Structure 1
Amino acid sequence: MESSRGRLVALCAVQFVDVMGVTVVVSALPRMLADLGGSLSQAGLLVPVYAVGFSSLLLLAARLGDRFGVRRVLLAGLVIFAIGSVVAAAAPVMGLLVAGRGIQGAAAAISVPNALVLLSRGSPTKTARDRALGAWNACGGLAGAAGLLVGGLTTSAVSWRAIFWGNLVATGVLIGVLLRVIPPDRSAERTSAGFAPRSVVLQVATVGAVVAAANAVGEAWPIPVGLGLVGLVAAGLLVLGERRTASPLVPKGLWRPAFVGGLIGSFGITATTSSFVVVGTVYLQEDKGFGPAAAGLMILPFSAAVVLAAAVAGRLMPRVGPRRPLILGLLLIVGGAAAAWFSPATGAFVAGLVLAGLGNGMGAVAAYASGLAVPAEQEGSAAGLLNTAAQIGTATMVATTVAIAGQGSGIDYRLGWLTVGLTAIVVLTSLGAATRTRLRR
């Protein structure tokens, strides 16, 4: 029992460290720019370069785990993350700092889906798995918001370099713990099935181009349009290639109704709540006058709500299944966006923040539970796709929401929250349409 609990804690810690890496540098950007003398365009790459590496390599990393052993690939990912942390912490110029962040993002992609597969396989019953997924998603939701606070406090108290040295220490501890609590891979848990290198290149190009296009929305129009066209062409070629190859990157039997629903939910939950939190952070600082650290503290009710709802969802799903909690989660996000949109008061925003957090915790657990209800040999691919959908949702919709709400040098917060609410409604509609279509077939 104690070993099982230690295993769960260690695997959730992998999720926490890797997801927190997306936001932990946001509050430190001005200090990094001042210390290294970099340009604003270089500083602006620090968040997207991590997100692009993270989102574009998740599916490949999951398949590598299937083929070479999940534990082995997870540990390799953590070692690479440690290398990226050292490069970033010791960077004398902004270019090396950006490179270190890129290495960290790629390493996070290698670690997260394989940790999720180990967490799913280590649960002896469906009830235990649902509760473990609740803990996993609670850590993910907590990590995104905690990164804003931890980055600000660490930079103010010590130095921005301490963020990356802390990453190195945390990764070293995680590797030591995982070596003790995760048994070596068995040959029966690995598959020799390969996949076409062409599919890998096209998948990375598709996701990387789409995420880069979304984050370049504020640039001159040829840049985002060109990147978007590259993504569309790569996606079309990928689909054609996958239909013809005998060794597809995504197993053809994976596209069941439950998995499709989980994929749509994973995208929608993270897309909407990440946008809500980012717009809310700007709102607290620019409209309400909070400092970076105080704004981070004001976001904590969101994280607390995620943890609470994830725990409830883990206990609720064995009785009602994942579909109802997923729908409820999206409806709560709609309610949170509506609360913030109706009133400019800080109290209304905090109430909306709590509702969005409850929706995130409830919906994300349900989406992952639905998406991972697949045969054991397909778990790696399912985990990779679910995490890819979540990261694409965050990377594309945050940029899109900010672009829609942008008004000169500021943001129309009500328009931002209206975008969040409408996006959640579109996801709800898509969820119903996709699962109904698949069920008829």
Structure 2
Amino acid sequence: MVFVTFLDTTVVSVALGDIRRELSTDVTLLQWVVNSYTVVFAGLMLAGGSLGDRWGRKRVMIIGLVIFCVGSVVSALASSVAMLIAGRAIMGLGAAASEPGTLSVLRHIFPGEQARAKAVGVWAAVSGLALAAGPVLGGVLVHTYGWRSIFWFNLVIGAAALVAALWSIPESSDPRQEPVDWAGALLGATAFASVIYAATVGQDRGYTAPSVLALFALGGVAFAAFVVVEMRARAPMLDFRYFRLRAVRGALVVAFAVYFGIFSIFFFTALYLQVMQSYSAARTAGVFAPMAVAIVVGSLVAGYWVARRGARIPMILGCVLGAGGILLTRHALSGTLHDPWLAAAMAVAGFGFGIAVVPLTSAVMSGVPAEHSGMAAAVTNTMRQVGSAFGVAVLGVLVSSFLSADLRARMTELGLPTSLQPDAIQAVERGRIPEGVDIGPYLQYLSKVNEVLNTGKVAFHHGLDVALLVSAVMILAAAVFTAVDTERDKAEVK
């Protein structure tokens, strides 16, 4: 079950090139093919976890899996990018309902901290395998059957998970019958979705556009209201008292930063290889395969490590290794590409990610009472999904802005009038001339097309280079924050 929900976070990454060509879309809409899933997933996961605590974790999980399967069918049959984005959003709704239960049930099945740490290690290995195997498995499916096959595959796996859940998972819930915090659920989802949407559309409309500023303002007001409501609610969707625990606070910061960085590789590196370097889906899968193995190995090692020594050191070391792997990937992408070297660099990042995920998950699950395990699982996964969604949105702004700026500068040098440049940039981003564009004015510049295309490759790499650097710095900053915060906690204990 955890495999299918995390798989769909990255499996679509290797299909982006084919989707772009068939549905004739640009980088911004491609981001929403990814983000529509992660935004809904993260925005509603707190609600899913809390509803599971109250109504029964197994029951909510089953409902979520059914919704996920429906969304898979809509995505597989999509005839436009709008329909595909809608299908992905439905899948995100199903994942938000089902995912928290996969982690919260471990709190009840394994009450002992050491046994639970090992179980979390297996859980993290499966989720990490799903994240990293997404590009590999997706590459094989897209290469063999086309991009729609990944959603039919999701349907098969989702149906199998549904049968397994009905048969094997015990029901559990919070024995206290408290009202559902509907106000908190609505405000939390509104705050998250508004800010992410504003960050994404701002690169096209401009961040000073009234509509974008209004969305940011709506997100800020909704979040402030969410905090007020949660502080006063009898049964809050998110109990802010647990943020006073430094272990929990540090773990959530690391969760955000690590998944912010993960998607700089999963989304933008895959997109760069396919769109700008013409990698096939199968070749992209081959580059990502060692990373999948490294994440699993790192998660399993960390599970035993945390069970014996605690979460602090492996969480910090995992961040350092993950950031180092991102910097190695950044170096490997400069100059002439060599697949073995690139795959090895990404494997280092994957090993660090695998090590970091287990202790951060274990710290939150251990710091929150068992009756609120659904909320603990939901807030952990929410921070992970928030990080991934912000990663795609914020890093997308960086990549797209460098791409547009560098292309405009080069086109100006080549003498292309500024009035013709916007459609030319769209042609480079989409890989084809936008519909309805009169190509007559462009004919005299055909001899310079190759120069423009080469500029597009360099410009995209420029943006990716900065995005990877930002990701690595953010992960290292999270490691420093955790180290300093937990050290302060130890000093206060003494």
Taking structure 2 as the reference length, the TM-score comes to 0.79
Q: Is the 8 A contact 1:86 1:164 kept in 2?
A: yes
Structure 1: any 5+ residue segments left out of the alignment?
1-13
1:321 corresponds to 2:315 = no
Q: Is the 8 A contact 2:136 2:285 kept in 1?
A: yes
Note closer, same or farther for the CA distance 1:336–1:81 as it changes in structure 2 (3 Å cut).
Answer: same
**1:22 maps to amino acid:** T
1:388 corresponds to 2:382 = yes
Note closer, same or farther for the CA distance 1:356–1:68 as it changes in structure 2 (3 Å cut).
Answer: same
Note closer, same or farther for the CA distance 1:354–1:38 as it changes in structure 2 (3 Å cut).
Answer: closer
Q: What's the secondary structure of 1:99's corresponding residue?
A: helix
Q: Is the 8 A contact 1:15 1:140 kept in 2?
A: yes
Q: Distance in 2 between matches of 1:82 and 1:99?
A: 13
Give the deviation of 1:336 after TM superposition.
1.6
1:167 corresponds to? 154
Note closer, same or farther for the CA distance 1:438–1:284 as it changes in structure 2 (3 Å cut).
Answer: same
Give the deviation of 1:296 after TM superposition.
2.1
Note closer, same or farther for the CA distance 1:210–1:154 as it changes in structure 2 (3 Å cut).
Answer: same
1:227 corresponds to 2:277 = no
After the TM superposition, which of the residue ranges 123-132 and 370-379 deviates more from structure 2? Answer: 123-132
2:257 corresponds to? 268
1:248-397 equivalences in 2 (<5 Å):
248-255=236-243, 256-285=245-274, 290-342=279-331, 344=334, 346=338, 348-373=341-366, 374-397=368-391
Q: What's the secondary structure of 1:302's corresponding residue?
A: helix
Counting aligned pairs with the same residue, the percent is 31
Q: Distance in 1 between matches of 2:374 and 2:169?
A: 17
Q: Is the 8 A contact 1:68 1:191 kept in 2?
A: no
Q: Distance in 2 between matches of 1:438 and 1:146?
A: 38
Superposed CA RMSD: 2.6
**2:247 maps to amino acid:** A
Note closer, same or farther for the CA distance 1:190–1:96 as it changes in structure 2 (3 Å cut).
Answer: farther
Q: Is the 8 A contact 1:23 1:148 kept in 2?
A: yes
Give the deviation of 1:218 after TM superposition.
2.6
**2:165 maps to amino acid:** L
Give the deviation of 1:316 after TM superposition.
0.8
Give the deviation of 1:76 after TM superposition.
0.9
Note closer, same or farther for the CA distance 1:35–1:352 as it changes in structure 2 (3 Å cut).
Answer: closer
2:423 corresponds to? none
2:419 corresponds to? none
1:65 corresponds to? 52
Describe the superposition over 1:147-170 as per-residue Cα deviations: whole angstroms up to 9, x where unpaired: 223333323322433322222222
**1:340 maps to amino acid:** T
Give the deviation of 1:284 after TM superposition.
3.6
2:136 corresponds to? 149
Q: Distance in 2 between matches of 1:34 and 1:356?
A: 30
2:97 corresponds to? 110
After the TM superposition, which of the residue ranges 431-440 and 68-77 deviates more from structure 2? Answer: 431-440
Count of residues in Structure 1 that have an aligned counterpart in Structure 2: 426
Q: Is the 8 A contact 2:311 2:363 kept in 1?
A: yes
Note closer, same or farther for the CA distance 1:293–1:215 as it changes in structure 2 (3 Å cut).
Answer: farther
**1:411 maps to amino acid:** H
After the TM superposition, which of the residue ranges 297-306 and 384-393 deviates more from structure 2? Answer: 297-306
Q: Distance in 2 between matches of 1:142 and 1:231?
A: 33
Give the deviation of 1:74 after TM superposition.
0.6
Q: Distance in 2 between matches of 1:419 and 1:42?
A: 23
Give the deviation of 1:394 after TM superposition.
0.7
Structure 2: any 5+ residue segments left out of the alignment?
404-455
Q: What's the secondary structure of 1:315's corresponding residue?
A: helix
CA radius of gyration, larger in: 2
Q: Is the 8 A contact 2:14 2:271 kept in 1?
A: no
1:209 corresponds to 2:194 = yes
1:411 corresponds to? 461
Q: Distance in 2 between matches of 1:417 and 1:29?
A: 19
Q: Distance in 1 between matches of 2:16 and 2:324?
A: 33
Q: Distance in 2 between matches of 1:275 and 1:68?
A: 37
Taking structure 1 as the reference length, the TM-score comes to 0.88
**2:373 maps to amino acid:** E
Q: Distance in 1 between matches of 2:309 and 2:145?
A: 48
1:8 corresponds to? none
After the TM superposition, which of the residue ranges 167-176 and 217-226 deviates more from structure 2? Answer: 217-226
Q: Is the 8 A contact 2:190 2:219 kept in 1?
A: yes
